[in-house]
Structure formats: C-alpha cells, structure tokens
Structure 1
Amino acid sequence: MDIVKAIETYVNKMVSTPSAMKVLLLDSHTTPIVSLASTQSVLLSHQVYLTDRIDNKKRERMPHMKCVCFLQNNEDSLEALEEELKEPNNILSKAVIERLAEVDEYEVVREVQEYFADYCPILPSLFSLNHIPSASKPLYGSSPNSWAPPALESAVEGITALLLSLKKKPVIRYERMSGMAKKLATEIQHRIQAESSLFDFRLTQVPPLLLILDRRNDPVTPLLSQWTYQAMVHELLNIQNGRVDLSNVPDISKELTDITLTTSTDPFFQSHYLATFGDLGTTLKDYVQKYQEKSLATSASSINSISDMKRFIEDYPEFRKLGGNVSKHVALVGELSRLVGLNKLLEATQAVITDNSVPAHNKLRIVMLYALRYQKTQTNNIANLIKLLLENGVPAEDAKLVYVLLNIAGSDQRQDDLFSTESFLAKGRSALKGLKGVENVYMQHRPHLAQTLENVFKGRLRDTGYPFLDGQGGPNASMQRPQDVIVFMIGGATYGEARTVTLFNQDPASVMDGPGISPGSVRVILGGTCVHRSSSYIEMIRSAAVNFPATVYDPPPESSSNAPALNLNLGGVNVSLGGPAGTGVYRTSNEGINVQADGLRDGVLNLIDKVKQGVDRIGIQ
C-alpha cells in the first residue's frame, strides 16, 4: 500500500495520452497533489511542456498544443474550465458532464476520465487532505462533535478516493466518543454502497480496516517538540506541499530561499528523514565528506586524458546535483540548531514562562501540556500558570486557549486513558515501562496511536471503545487481525505518528510493548485532514472555539484524584506510582527525584551542542 506510487501511476496515465506536445492544467486543489507525486522531468518525458493553473487568465493561447486538465469537481474549477472551453476527479455526475458538453461549442473535449487522486501523498504511508482549519475554512461546526459541512464532504471524497486508488473495500471502526468519527464513518459507508460497482474488489479472508480516530483523544502529540529530521523541519520551518521556505534564514543564499524536501526526489532525505537530531549531525558530516571526495575527483588537476574528460562530462550533472543537495541539508540542519537554541526548546520549566526571550507560543505549549497532564489534580497550579502567562507577555486571547483545550480535549472528553492515571495497574505498566529503556532521549514520547495499532494487530481493540459501523463486524470481529489498516485522524495527523506507522510497516516489534509480529506482515497507512505542527494545532483550536458556546472559555469542572500511591525501591531504582513525585522511574539519590530528569536534559544539551559544532565546522569548510 504505497500511496505515492498510487498517485504517481494516475498522473503518468493521465499525461501519457495523447502522444503529442501538451499542456497540463491544474487547480488549487490538484496542484499540490501532482507536485508531491511527480517531477518536472517525468512530466517532460510525457511531452508535458507547460504546467499551469487553469484560473491563470494571463496565459497565452496555444491552439497547436493538446491539453490535459486535472481538476477537482468543484464550482470554481468547473467555471474556470467553462471559460477555457469557450475559447479554444472525483466521481463526476451526469449533470456535470452535460454541463461541460453544453459549453464545448468547438468540440475540443475528446475524453473525460475520473482519477481517484483527491488526496496529497506525502509519504508512502502518509497522506493529507490539506485542510488546515481556519476561520474561513473551518473543520468543526457549532460543537466539538459536529462537522462543518464542506469539511465533511471533503473528508468523504478524500478517503473514498484513497480506498479506490488502493482498491480496498474495508470494514469501518471509529472512536465511540467522537460524534465526528461516527458521522464520517456513516457517510463513507453510504458512498461505498452508492458506488458499489466501483468497490467490486476481490475479497480477502480478513477484510481491510478503516479506523477513524479523533485528534481530541490525543491532544498531547501535536503540542510536543519533535526531534526527528522531517518532523523538526515541519515544526520549526513548516513543510508545505513538499517545499520549505528559508527566505527568513539569516545569510541564506538566494538559490536556497525556497527548497524542495520530499523523500521521492532527495536520496539523503529518504535515508534520514526519520533520524533523530542527535544522529543527524554525524550522517550529515559523512555526506559532506562524500561530496568533498567527489569534488577532488572532478577537479581540473585530475583530468589528464580524453577518458578523464569523458568521465568528467558524464559525472558533472550528478556532481552538481550532489553539491546542491549538500548545501541544502547543511543550511537546514544549521537553521534547526539555531532555532532550538533561540527558542530554548530543551527547557521545560517555569523559568521558561518568565523568560522574555522565549516566544509566547512556546510558553503557551508548556502550560497546555501541564494542564492536560494534571487537569484533575493540580487545578490551582493551572490557574496560577495561566496568570503567569498573562504576566509574561502572553496575550489574554492566547492564555484562555488553555481552558478551551481542556474543554474540548480534556480528560472528560477523551475516551482513552492517555496518561495511565485511571487504574492502579495502568500506573504500574506505565512506570515499569521505563525500566526497559528507550531508543534515546529524543524518542521517549510514544504517540497514543502506537498503543491503538498494537491493540488492533493483537486483536485486543475492544469494540466497546472502537465499535464497528452498524451492519459490519459480527461475533468476535474485534479479535480478527487485519493485515491492511488505514487510519484517518480527524483534526490532523503528525509526523511523529507517521514515524510510528513507518516503523510498524518495517518492524512492528520495534514499537510494540510485548511480543511483536513478524516484519512485513502488516501494512498501515495514516492520513489526516492535515499534518499538524504545534502552531497549526493551536490555531485550529482558536478558530474552532469562536463557533462553540461561550462556556468553552471557562475553567472545566474538576475533581481531585483519589488514586492510591505506591513507591517501590528496586535496588538503585525507585518506582513511583502516584503520590507527590508523580508516576515514573527515578534513580535513588540524595539529590531528590529530579536527578534523572536533569541527567537526561544535560545529555540532550550535550548532543545538541555537538550537532551545532559539527554544522559550524561544515560551514567553515
């Protein structure tokens, strides 16, 4: 299930005929889809000599060239196409085809085809509908459990297109507490039934699973700082349809102000987009050394014969491409290092809130995370932290978003125990998990999606929490172990969760707690209404709250936790379950329970310092 290849196949098929010089016209919706799935050289190989927007009124008329239009079935695109036809996608209804036929006075339309490519393929296992919620383009209706009608239709069309492009007819499960998830599941099932002939695929013993989740069940993941390469670039610089704007980077060269960053076109990025920031410095250094070696091999002093000249001419394009790629990644990693230090992302204490050099956005994130974790036990502290935000440069309209978040995604709104605080056994599992160790300090956070997928593949995802859509499932259906799972996250996915999905596809045991399943035995695809970074997630909350009842800005009703506390001393390790120290694993020390946290932070600081030094040395060379 490679969604990049699925869309790439559609694009190649689309432009392969007629075999003549042609123009490819796109709209605002299909432009990013094509840019993520194809390249200019591939389009040129199919004789596409111009790619343009159909709403570009300044385009010259070219009657000598053929035209391929790849458009979304919406009013703006249809009107633009009508104008185009006057002067010589999704499932098209008969009325739409008749409408186009009526304006095709010169009979220039030879064929109308439908391609199920109504989504953006970011990675082979990650797609987005590119719906970043805003006041003008809302996701939610009048409550956190209702859709804005255009957003619902967009989600139905996008997921339906994905299923058709992958030739999957799934059973559907959804989060029980999410009204939006149930509504979307119902609408998709209606669409599948209405277009039953399109979904007439070969049946499998265990059908594919479409699992519809709600971002509100895990509001923590999009608020956290990311520490893998692709996720960091998106968090700190923003990846928009495979492009990154570096125009605001100090002393950036002109050719690097706008760069392409996709796994399909960049071999280095393909190999290291999941690398942690600590490992990235070493791999980048090796990459630079490889370039330097090639540079010496292609220098003028190394050309001593006709064969050397021939080799130089053949290798020069690749050498130039390598040089440009090295410069791009050195600039990217250098800027990431600068922003990590500038924004003090390695600090997570009250001192950050009172530090005037820290952006208000990061102060707000820290308080939001604290409020989510201690909503039921530290009510007064949350109020004091909000007051501290107001005293230290955070606008009131931002500070009140803490309570908005608790009201729409707090503990009373989530169906799963995100922090393992509800039961004594859950506390034990969470604390003892720390004894196993982690890959490194960057990877301590495990998205809630990882546990959900583990339960799916072990047949432990209960239908009481994740029911099947009416008429599906059957006795013991929740115990079946599907091979193909498509996860859709209402409210946006994250690159952190995409990493989890990629690891499940490569080696499930690397992200599962207990005994794993064999590599390659499961295939997972993750999608969302968008791919969030922390700023876009907070903006989504802000824009949504405007349409909710005014009480969403009030403190939610709280109650103190009566969960028992337990402390175990295992040699030099103290396991704390509840109590004033909180749940966790700590080294026994006279310095108190924070010694391990301090040690981890110091380790991260040392790693970041090494990365900075490495990048600085590369810049000097």
Structure 2
Amino acid sequence: MSENQNQEGLRGCVQNRILNDVFDQCAASTPGWLVLIVDDEAMRVVSSVVGMYDIMEKKITTVESINNMRQPLPEMEVIYLITPSPSSIDLLISDFGNPKRPMYGNAHLYFLTRVEDSQMAKIKKAPNLLKRIKTFSEVNLNFITPTSHSFHLDMNPSTSLRNFYSSTPNLSTTASQLVTVCATMNEYPHIRYPSSSPLCAAAAQEFHTQMNNYMSQNPAWWFHGGQSHTQRSRSTLLLLDRSADPLTPIVHEFTYEAMVQDLLDIDEDKISYESEANSGEKVKKDVLLNENDELWKELRYTHIADVITTLSTRIRDFVGSNSGAALASNAGADMSLSEMAAALKQLPEYKETMSKLSQHMYLAHQCMDVFGKQCLLDLSELEQTMGTGTDAEGKAPKAKVLIDDLIDQLAGIGTRKQAIRLIMIYIISQHGITVDIRKRLFDAAGLTGEEQEVILNLEKLGVTLQQAKAPSTSFTSMFRSARLASTGRFDKNSTYTMSRYVSNLKGVLEQAAEGKLDIEEYPSVLPMPQGAEKGGGVGARSVRRGGGAVGEGKGTGNSRWAASSGDGKGAGKGGNGLANKKFTGGRIIAFTLGGVSHSEIRAGWEVMMGTSGKEIVVGGTCFLKPDQFVEAIKGL
C-alpha cells in the first residue's frame, strides 16, 4: 500500500490487497483466463469488499467454493484464496491428487493467514501440487470490513462473550487477527488499554508479542511512522472491554442504520421486502445495504426523522421536475409517505436512482411502523432519562417517580425482549438495585425464571446487580463513577431529545483525538512519545448536561420525538465529506473485545468527521445487534 493512500480507510486497503496484490499479479503472469477457488472464510472476506464485476475485470472467469464438487479445468490456471485450515489444505491437495488429470493447471496459492508448519509439511509431501505452484503467499486478511472505517473478526456474538468472560479467556487468536488488521494498514501501533481492565492488559501484551513476531518474520514490511515512511505518524491501538460499557448495545437508537439493524429482519447487509410492480403484482426484492449503495452511505448515520425529510424532499423534487407526470398535482406538502412511494412507481422515469429512493423510503417507513407498534416513544424516553441521568429538560428525576414510571412501562410493554432490555438499562445505569425493587420489576414485566436469569447474568460482565439500600431521592447517583465523569453520558449538542445518550466510546475517542486521553487511566505497553498525552487527565472532559426547548417533530408528528435545538440536520453523514477530508498524525484504531455496536461505529465516524483531523477505525470481535447482545449474555 502506498503512503499516499490516505482517504481509502481499512476497506480500501483490503480492496487493494485483493485486487492488486492477488488478482493483478496473477493476471499479469498468465495470458489466459483464471479460476478463483475460495473457502467459506475467504468468500466472506472477498465478498465484503469486492463485487463480481471487479473480479471479472481481473481475467477471472469462474469463482467456486473449494468445498463443492467442481468441473475439472486442467487447461486453466487457478487462484486459491483460502484459510490454511486442515480441511482446506486437504481439499487443495486432493485437487491435484491425480497426476494424469489434475483439476487445474498452474496454481497461485494465497492464504488468509500464516501457514503453520504442520500444514506446510502436508503441501511439501504433495508432489503433484508442488510442481504446479506458481505463487505462494500469505495475505493476512482474516477479518471483515463492511465499511471504510470499521471491521470485525467474524466471531459469533455468543462465542465472543463466552471466550472473553470465562475463567480462562483465549486471547491468542484475537491478537493474531488484530495483527493482520494492522499489517494490512501498515501500522505498528502504540498500544493503550484501560488500566481498570485486566482483560485488556493481557490482550495488549499478547498483541504486542505477536506484532513483534510478525515484524521479525517479515523484514521487508514497513509501517507508518517508521524509517523512510514519515508522512504519517505511528497509529494508536485502543484495546477496550465490552464489560466497561454494557449499556450502549441495548439502548434504542434512532439513526437509520441502528434502527434497521435493531428493528427489521436483516441478515448482515441483506434485507428482503415485497414491492408492488407497475402491473400491481407483488414481487420480492432483495436489497444490499452496503458500500455500493451511495444513498445508504449518505444516510445511515442520520436520525430517522432527517432520513424521512431528505427522502421526502428528493421525491417531491423529482415529481415536481416532471410537470407532465400524471401525479404532479399530488406533489404537495401534505403527501404521505405511502402516497409518495405509490406516485413514484407510476412515473415513467422510474429508474435505478428512483428505485433507491423508493427502497429507502420503504425501509424508513418500516422502521417507523415498528417504532409505533412497539410503543418505543415512551419506552425510549425512559431509556434516555436512565442512560443520561436527566430528563429532556436537563433535570434529574426523582428516583421514586422514575421507578413508578418504569413499572408502569413494564406492565404494558409490547415484548419480553423489550422488558429485559429496559430492566437491564435500569440496573446498569443505577450500578445495582435492591432485591425488593428488582422483584417489583420482574413481577411487573411477568418474566419467567429463565428470563430473569438473563438479567442476572449481567453480573458475569462485571455489572453490580445489588445495592444494600434504596437509591437516593434524586436519580443522579450513576454519575458518581470517575470513569463516567471523564467520558460523559449526555450530548448537549444533540438535535433530538430522544438522542441525548452517547456511548462511552465516543468520549474516549474525542479525548484520544485531542491528545487528552489520560496516561494513567489508559496506559501504554511501551512509553508514548513525548507530548503524546498533552493536557491529559480525568478532568479533561466533564459530564455534559443540557437540553433545550422541545420543538416541532419532523416526519412523525410527536413533539417528544422532536428536535431540541439546531437546524434539524442529522449527525455526520455516512458517505459525505470523506473524499475531501484531510487527516493528520497517526490513525486511532479502537477495538472492543466482546463486540462493538452500530452506534459506536457511528460515534467513531462522527469523531473522525469532526474537527480533530484524526482518522479513526472502529472494530470489534463482532458487530452487535441489541438482541444478539442480550442472547450472548444469556449464554454466559
């Protein structure tokens, strides 16, 4: 990767590695077309960053799974992009087991990770394969990059939590995968971690050891900030612990991507829905919400009310620009979402761009439909008050009043899952409750013994479940923690009163980007460069409290949903501005053991697109949806 590739992010680095270092090199070495063979893990890595059109441009005519029966093509050269697992190595060798009729011609072997000595020995004992090997390389790409500045290690959420919060956590594999992430970006990072987390301290040492081993085994590898590569400084890797903030993954959030992931039936980036064709017939549509969808990139980190406003405006502008259209007379301000979507489908100009508008209008409408059916307005207002310690006016509620409101909400709540999340939020935010209050909450929600155990399992994440005495009269005791005081829970700049809560991660990233992350709270494995922690200290950021007049709601007709201040424009757009953004200094790579939520990915983007000028990459062992996190806690 060139040092000048400043704006592409981690996803761009992975694309370059696959397209240039693998496909282009192979295409340049053979005059004919190529076959690409992948295993399941490699397919996930490749498909997350490269489309079939990109592959075809590299002289690859066929992509097949190594696990499937395949037609022999002995006249064609083949690229194997696979994990060096025993099963994949065995299948590779078997493809060349018949010396008279091998499956393919010459072979280009690319492995996602380091090939262990035992697997190398197997390959050396396969003479029919050995004589056909034209390329042998380890590409270090065993992670998934769904967006330009986020990644995960493709772990199952339940497995991830059990691994790290068992009596003997296994950190070796995670550290190894993190090394490949850093190697891909040419980063040899300073390693920092919270001093309060023994898990992160152990992970930091393991990563440090494995990163140094990688450097010693790859002497030609270079890193930003190293000798002759000084255009960018060395990066900083922040190793974080999911147990330090179990609250954020379960709080309802109302930016577009977070709502889609929480409320709709989406499988990774694929979502299906029924659409009405021009003939009136219902047809099933599959939509991929990924980096290839520019509208998704633009809107995904935007508040849902602003998504609806933006889509409505663009559809009205489109209808208005077609004065001869039969439905132009209906393009007034009173047009409903469903009317606009129906009008759009009747226009002859309905093409790909308008199809995207219609798709996203439908998805936004579905999010709001679920929002209404599950009565999330009242529930979320309560969540925001518990999560921040203040109501929409910035006042601390009385503890008894809040408990009564909570019990009323639980008594009429739509689903048990929502009840479990709500009780979890209360317990986490209060740093424990009395046994009596807990029983009242469980009874109000009508939870079964198994459902109660899910909540009690929070203790295995380090959450305090029980207080000896009743809470104080004012619901502000949650802020007695120095850690919370340093990172903040309340966004006074939030446009919407229902989006006051901010994650711990955002506060940590803001401090890190400003060079103010306290070195005692977040020590480094090795000494940091002089001046790297300018102005540090716990007091560098205080808890932010605020609130404003509640204004008119946008697209929902309810004032509690409404903007509290500002011009009604949402948070940093997911796809806008990156091309013109100039980064300075070293990258910040924030990685959470146990998984990272979509709201935290958004927080990283917002800090990066702010005024600090720092490039920020956010990752975790997996991406966490709220229900997945609750289910993972159940399995602890």
What's the TM-score, normalizing by structure 2? 0.70
Aligned equivalents of 1:80, 1:294: Cα separation in 2: 58
- Give a deviation string over 1:174-224, Cα, whole Å, max 9, x none: 122323222221121111221224354342595311110001101111001
Aligned to 1:195, the other structure's residue is in SS state: helix
Residue type at the aligned position of 2:47: S
Q: Which residue of 2 aligns with 1:537?
A: 629
Shift of 1:378: 4.9
Shift of 1:396: 1.9
Shift of 1:284: 1.6
Aligned equivalents of 2:359, 2:76: Cα separation in 1: 36
Find out whether 1:100 has 2:155 as its counterpart.
no
Whether contact under 8 Å (1:145, 1:178) holds in the other structure is: no
Q: Which residue of 2 aligns with 1:31?
A: 43
Distance 1:468 1:9, change over 3 A: same
Find out whether 1:360 has 2:419 as its counterpart.
no
Shift of 1:492: 0.6
Q: Which residue of 1 aligns with 2:528?
A: 473
Shift of 1:318: 11
- Give a deviation string over 1:577-608, Cα, whole Å, max 9, x none: xxxxxxxxxxxxxxxxxxxxxxxxxxxxxxxx
Shift of 1:478: 4.1
Whether contact under 8 Å (2:175, 2:203) holds in the other structure is: yes
The count of residues paired between Structure 1 and Structure 2 equals: 497
Shift of 1:9: 0.7
Shift of 1:501: 0.9
> Which residues in structure 2 correspond to 1:476-495 (within 5 Å)?
478-479=533-534, 483-495=586-598
Distance 1:430 1:115, change over 3 A: closer
Q: Which residue of 2 aligns with 1:395?
A: 448
Aligned equivalents of 1:245, 1:375: Cα separation in 2: 40
- Give a deviation string over 1:231-287, Cα, whole Å, max 9, x none: 1111123554432344899x995441x32111x211111211111111111112234
Distance 1:47 1:183, change over 3 A: same
Aligned to 2:253, the other structure's residue is in SS state: coil
Q: Alignment identity in percent?
A: 18
Q: Which residue of 1 aligns with 2:480?
A: 421
Find out whether 1:527 has 2:619 as its counterpart.
yes
Q: Which residue of 2 aligns with 1:124?
A: 148
Q: Which residue of 2 aligns with 1:351?
A: 408
Q: Which residue of 2 aligns with 1:192?
A: 211
Aligned equivalents of 1:32, 1:466: Cα separation in 2: 34
Distance 1:424 1:538, change over 3 A: closer
Residue type at the aligned position of 1:449: L
Shift of 1:338: 1.8
Aligned equivalents of 2:205, 2:273: Cα separation in 1: 43
Distance 1:430 1:243, change over 3 A: closer
- Give a deviation string over 1:534-556, Cα, whole Å, max 9, x none: 1111111122x2xxxxxxxxxxx
Find out whether 1:331 has 2:434 as its counterpart.
no
Whether contact under 8 Å (2:143, 2:152) holds in the other structure is: yes
Aligned equivalents of 1:522, 1:252: Cα separation in 2: 50
Shift of 1:46: 1.5
Aligned equivalents of 2:320, 2:78: Cα separation in 1: 46
Aligned to 1:112, the other structure's residue is in SS state: strand
Q: Which residue of 2 aligns with 1:610?
A: none
Whether contact under 8 Å (1:140, 1:146) holds in the other structure is: no
Distance 1:483 1:196, change over 3 A: closer
Aligned equivalents of 2:358, 2:506: Cα separation in 1: 35
Q: Which residue of 2 aligns with 1:595?
A: none
Residue type at the aligned position of 2:628: S
Residue type at the aligned position of 1:194: N
Find out whether 1:445 has 2:476 as its counterpart.
no
Distance 1:289 1:104, change over 3 A: farther
Find out whether 1:260 has 2:260 as its counterpart.
no
Aligned to 2:297, the other structure's residue is in SS state: helix
Gaps of 5+ in 1: 300-316, 509-516, 546-621
Aligned to 1:110, the other structure's residue is in SS state: strand
What is the RMSD computed on CA atoms of the aligned residues? 3.5
Aligned equivalents of 2:135, 2:320: Cα separation in 1: 53
Residue type at the aligned position of 1:217: A
Q: Which residue of 1 aligns with 2:81?
A: 70
Find out whether 1:218 has 2:321 as its counterpart.
no
Aligned to 1:69, the other structure's residue is in SS state: strand
Aligned equivalents of 2:325, 2:298: Cα separation in 1: 25
Residue type at the aligned position of 1:420: F
Q: Which residue of 2 aligns with 1:306?
A: none
Find out whether 1:503 has 2:606 as its counterpart.
yes
Whether contact under 8 Å (1:36, 1:241) holds in the other structure is: no
Q: Which residue of 2 aligns with 1:169?
A: 188
Q: Which residue of 2 aligns with 1:44?
A: 56
Residue type at the aligned position of 1:196: M
Aligned equivalents of 1:138, 1:221: Cα separation in 2: 17
Aligned equivalents of 2:482, 2:121: Cα separation in 1: 61
Shift of 1:458: 3.5
Find out whether 1:341 has 2:372 as its counterpart.
yes
Gaps of 5+ in 2: 1-5, 104-111, 327-347, 380-405, 467-475, 537-584
Aligned equivalents of 2:211, 2:532: Cα separation in 1: 20
- Give a deviation string over 1:352-400, Cα, whole Å, max 9, x none: 42236x12111100010011112345553223212333x2xx3321222
Shift of 1:449: 0.7
Q: Which residue of 2 aligns with 1:303?
A: none
Aligned equivalents of 2:294, 2:10: Cα separation in 1: 19
> Which residues in structure 2 correspond to 1:223-242 (within 5 Å)?
223-237=250-264, 239-242=266-269
